[in-house]
Amino acid sequence: MVDILHRVGVVGSKDDVYAAITSPDRLAAWWTEDTTGDGDEGGVLKFQFLPGGFDMKVLETRPAERVLWEVVDGPAEWIGTHVRWDLHTEGDYTIVMFSHEGWREPVAFMNHCSTKWATYLMSMKQLVETGTGAPAPNDVQISNWH
């Protein structure tokens, strides 16, 4: 089992970062505009992109501290994996410790998703800090896989 790991620091409160990863409206402002569903514990969030989408079951929400999703629909490589968000404060920053855990094999698509997650995390950071993110379909293109 292999994991994607990232860390970004957002100049903003933990509450604002927590809202950015639990509210469908806020998620739509940094990840993909076509975001629906329920970001509270027990809910399912649906993230749709042009080529397909991901459905996330919300396993755990601890306000301003932690969010844990399980991928219940999407690409085969994603199903059953977990997306974990842990927040803490360091000075002016809310630190986001991010992991997308439980990939069965380090396939090329995992490399792609790792880089892509980094650009989306920067989009989330920009959203909280400036009010404007870069969600799909206007996200940063990193390669021929978009």
Q: How far is the CB of 117 from its own copies (least distance, A)?
A: 8
65 closest CA partner among 13, 125, 124: 13
Q: How far is the CB of 109 from its own copies (least distance, A)?
A: 8
Of the residues 52, 130, 137, 142, which one makes contact with its own copies according to CB under 8 A:
142
**Cα–Cα distance between 104 and 75 in angstroms, integer?**
13
Of the residues 79, 95, 102, 134, which one makes contact with its own copies according to CB under 8 A:
95
CB contact at 8 A, 13 and 94: yes
- List interacting residues with its own copies (CB under 8 A): 2-9, 90-93, 95, 97-99, 106, 108, 110-112, 114-115, 118-119, 121-122, 125, 140, 142-145
